[in-house]
Structure 1
Amino acid sequence: MGKLLCDSSTAVAETFQTSSPTVPLWEPKSAPLEAVDLVDQTSIIATNATWDDVIGLEEQQRRHLQRLHAKGVLWKHPEDESTSVVFRLSHGGEVSADGNCLFTASQKAMAREVDARELRRRTVRRFLEDLGSVGEEDREVINVAIRHMYSPDLRNGWGIHVVQEVKLLANKADREGLDSAIDELLQLGMQRELAAESIYKERCMPVIDGPSWAKYMLICGSLDDEYDIITLQYTEEGLLSVDENREGHAAAFGDDIAIECLATEFKREIYVVQAHGSDAMVDEENCVFFLPHRPRSEISGPPIFLFMKGTGWCGAGADHYEPLIAHPSSLVSQEKVAVVL
């Protein structure tokens, strides 16, 4: 699963822009470019699904993606336009929708011999290292973006989302004490969900800044996790539900911050290729678009491409990453490509 930020004219959405893929949280550092063999770095497994085999696509999406594959996309190095490659993009296969899909899809797209959990750890480590190098003002910008995503102001934002979520972290070692405190409120006559909301908000860690985001993003839904994710869902009328995640299987969905950290860790741009359906009220020519995430350092390798099937303009249903395999092609003319990145 993944979290994408949506465009809006409201104040809340404007603040979201601080973590938009096109507005980096940190300014990229200038550094000398490294020579790189693009073809060697994009050699991957030979067998990939064709777009005819990919489930869950509308016909206009499928046709557009097939055209992208046939004509290719042209990537030019942002700092050295003499370095350019035409890529044919093919689907890299389904990945499990277990909350780890950003990292699983990235591993497949890069053909790296590293598992999704290690990619998650490297992402968080990169985030913390970079967070420690920025000033107080930049750190607060990052904290504000995190709060808006995971601990939103429930007085605002209802023009953007019908349901808003608050994420809390419960230390696994505290579960027994949390349950006892909830039971005490139940004995006093409080409703179960209201009792759980009260105790979790009082005793659990909110995801509101860089350090708490790092703890959250490390959670992969395994028994080895230090924390369990508690999710409080709200509508404009109040509390809707409490997901107590008692089995501890919930994983932290990758977000734009995580993608930017991945890009920085591997010194490669990451493009999320988002395909929207007809309910997004876009025509076929505009139903697929590329969301770039630049590394905060030099770019020393070809881009990584991830796929996201969307159904609505604000990402309704668009919360699952799948790998795209980028095949460099010398058979496609740069003048006739489908997209120039």
Structure 2
Amino acid sequence: MGKLLCDSPVADNFQASSSPSVSWRETTPPPLDTIEAVDLVDQTASCITEVTTWDTVLGLEEQQRRNLQRLHAKGVLWKHPEDESSPHGRSVVFRLSHGGEVSADGNCLFTASQKAMMATARENDARELRKRTVMRFLQDFGSAKAEERGMINDVIKHLYAPDLRNGWGVHVVQEVKLLAKKEERVSLDSAIEELIHLGMQREIAAESVYKERCLQVDDGLSWAKYMSISGSPDDEYDIVTLQYTEEGLLSVDENRNGHAAAFGDDIAIECLATEFKREIYVVQAHGSDGMVDEDNCVFFLPHRPRSQICEPPFFLFMKGTGWCGGGADHYEPLIAHPSSFVSSEKVAMVL
């Protein structure tokens, strides 16, 4: 599953510090002649895997399906953003196909990215991609200026420890993420039972104990601990989720089996982009509930690396929903079939 910032007044306040525009360290693109030329077509053509046609993808409305079929038939034009030496320099047309279903286990950003990159090596499996994402974040966050770290902390706090006094004009339900150490679950349960014996309702007791004794995800270091969680028994922490409505506590997801994984968010996508030195485009296809006309129901949300771009982009897919401009909560892979440059007038979209 995934988490994107919504297109909303609240999110707008943080848009300057959310992917893809966040720059945790000042970087100046190197001169073009220092970047090794990449034969984009030859590099990826040999890696094409079996894909699913848009006709057979479940859960799509006709307006979504028609636009996605058009993307595959005509392709999207991508040009290396740092190559201004010629109008057609290092330009590639990608024809986008669905890369198949991936498990909705919370690891879908990394599983889908693995498939979208057509990576088969063991070092690029989904769990390893998660680790590399977190390590990239910690390296860049640690070398950032204090002002930049503060900006990132604010975004993380907004996403995972929101101010429950505000935001209700945008969200019906808001979530607070907490991290419970696996080795402390027995003592946490004992503390909850003590409050219950004193007459407190179980959910209120659990909320009180977890908020007092668990780690809140509200800054860069706690985000790294959170994003490291894959739902494996080897994880150091379990994710506890408190859900609130404007009236107060709605539910407590205690995740007693420890199967919940940290959903990939915009920050994680940008870290992946930086780690692999390539752009990542999240392609959202909205249905009729998205209040968009058919010609505008497909969105390309770019996430650029915080360094030079040395590889072609890869693409992830989201079936958009109407409740929020930020899209759905599940990533799927797109397979980008490269072909030679054609006139920009003949492609479905220019990125």
Task: Sort the TM-score into its range (normalised by shorter chain).
Answer: over 0.9
Q: Which one of 259, 266, 271 corresponds to residue 276 of structure 2?
A: 266
Deviation per residue, 1:157-215 (Å, 9 max, x gap): 00111000000000000000000000000000000000000000000000010100000
* SS across alignment from 2:90: strand
* SS across alignment from 2:149: helix
Structure 1: runs of 5+ lacking an equivalent: none
Residue pair 1:16, 1:145 contacting (<8 A) in 2 also = yes
* SS across alignment from 2:38: coil
Partner of 1:35 in structure 2? Answer: 37
Structure 2 counterpart of 1:35, which letter?
A
Partner of 2:109 in structure 1? Answer: 102
Is 1:230 the equivalent of 2:240? yes
Residue pair 1:72, 1:337 contacting (<8 A) in 2 also = yes
Q: Distance in 2 between matches of 1:46 and 1:283?
A: 33
Give 1:46 deviation, angstroms.
3.5
Partner of 1:150 in structure 2? Answer: 160
Which stretch shifts more, 284-293 or 80-89? 80-89
Give 1:45 deviation, angstroms.
3.5
Partner of 1:137 in structure 2? Answer: 147
Q: Which one of 84, 96, 117 corresponds to residue 89 of structure 1?
A: 96
Which stretch shifts more, 91-100 or 309-318? 309-318
Structure 2 counterpart of 1:7, which letter?
D
Give 1:24 deviation, angstroms.
2.1
Aligned identity (percent) is: 78
Q: Which one of 173, 188, 198 corresponds to residue 188 of structure 1?
A: 198
TM-score, with length taken from structure 1: 0.96
* SS across alignment from 2:14: helix
Residue pair 2:242, 2:252 contacting (<8 A) in 1 also = yes
Q: Distance in 1 between matches of 2:49 and 2:238?
A: 39
Q: Distance in 2 between matches of 1:19 and 1:227?
A: 27
Aligned length: 339
Q: Which one of 186, 193, 209 corresponds to residue 176 of structure 1?
A: 186
Q: Distance in 1 between matches of 2:323 and 2:279?
A: 24
Structure 2: runs of 5+ lacking an equivalent: none
Aligned ranges for residues 178-217 of structure 1 at < 5 Å?
178-217=188-227
Is 1:62 the equivalent of 2:60? no
Q: Which one of 71, 75, 78 corresponds to residue 72 of structure 1?
A: 75
Residue pair 2:20, 2:266 contacting (<8 A) in 1 also = no
Q: Distance in 2 between matches of 1:40 and 1:49?
A: 22
Residue pair 2:6, 2:327 contacting (<8 A) in 1 also = no
Is 1:24 the equivalent of 2:31? no
* SS across alignment from 2:29: coil
Q: Distance in 2 between matches of 1:331 and 1:129?
A: 37
How large is the Cα RMSD of the aligned pairs? 1.4
Q: Distance in 2 between matches of 1:233 and 1:62?
A: 34
Is 1:287 the equivalent of 2:297? yes
